Amino acid sequence: MVGSSRFLLLLGIFVALAMVYAGCSSNTKGGSCNDNANCYDYQYCNASGHNCATLPGYCTANSECNDSLLSCDSAKTHKCIFSTGRCRTNANCDIWQVCDSTNYCRAAPGYCDSDSVCEPTYEFCNPATNKCSPAPGYCTSDTDCDSWKKCDVVSKRCYLIAGRCDLDGDCENWQNCDVKAHRCVAKSGYCVNDDNCDTSWSKCDMTLKKCVARQGFCAADNECNDWEFCSSGSHRCTPLKDRCSTFADCGSWQFCDTDHYCKHQSGYCDEDKNCVTGEVCNQNNHLCQ
């Protein structure tokens, strides 16, 4: 029994050590190793020490670069690269830069790396192009402005083309700003030209900027004589009931008097009182019977 217990104890220790060894060699990269698979891509397994070592041409710390201009890119490639902004030749810099005598990448002529090298009153260093560009609201040519604006090369400011707008206040008081088209358009009841009016009866008064009736038409009753009204359908002055402008506005048995009333002609009647006693006015033929 004692021998059996000792055997089971030794077996348990052996299994535990095997599991620990297996865990270290298979689950932990970059430390102890049996082969390269236990190491990272930039490492190899040193057979003599069974530990992961750095491959030639790779690094894990800046000190391994042995160059004051270089640093170890330990986050990505594990290679020695030029530190940010440092260089030996122009090829080590961005395309818009040159390498200066102190081994720093600087903006090449015509380019910029800060606002300080640009015109301070109206320019900034555009990070998209690394060139000095007009600051928002400023310009050096029309192409720096919106399509509905032009550039004042003296003030370096964009200004609105006549008739264009950003808001209602940019237009005349009889206009609104169409903010999608950036154009000033006539308010309801106003006009820019005849196209804004119903040309079948009206036109645009260029002084009033309003649609007004053309000759022979009307827009309101006060544009007609006192015995007429302005017909909303025809926009023409039309006689009120029993009023007239000419004989044609009256019945065939009537005439138009000087006060513009339709009166019955001699021998005809409009109502019974136009007949002698005992007769009535026949409304079909307007004769007394």
> Residues of the chain with pLDDT > 70: what percent?
90
Is the separation of the CB atoms in 101 and 86 below 8 Å?
no
From 23-37, 55-69, 114-128, 188-202, the region with the lowest mean pLDDT: 23-37
Among 264, 231, 225, residue whose Cα is nearest residue 245: 225
Q: At 26, which helix (H) or strand (E)?
A: helix 2-27
Cα-based torsion angle of the residue sequence 273, 276, 279, 280 in order, rounded to the nearest 10 degrees: -20
Q: How confident is the model at residue 144 (pLDDT cuts 50, 70, 90)?
A: very high
The DSSP line for 208-227 is: TTEEEEPTT--SSGGGS-TT
Q: What is the DSSP letter of 92?
A: G
Predicted confidence band at 156 (pLDDT cuts at 50, 70, 90)?
very high
Confidence of residue 5 (pLDDT cuts 50, 70, 90): low
At 202 the pLDDT is 94
What is the helix (H) or strand (E) element at residue 73, kind and residue range? none
Please name the amino acid found at residue 288: C
Altogether, the residues listed in the chain come to a count of: 289
Which residues does 271 contact at the CB level (< 8 Å), separation at least 6?
281
End-to-end CA distance of the chain: 155
Residue 6 — very low, low, confident or very high, per pLDDT cuts 50/70/90? Answer: low
Give the pLDDT mean for 15-39. Answer: 65
Beta bridge partners of 265: none
Phi then psi dihedrals of residue 37, to 5 deg = -65, -20
- CA–CA gap between residue 286 and residue 289 (Å, rounded): 9
pLDDT digits (tens, 9 = 90+) for 252-271: 999 999 999 999 998 899 89
DSSP-derived pairing of the beta strands 51-54 and 43-46:
antiparallel
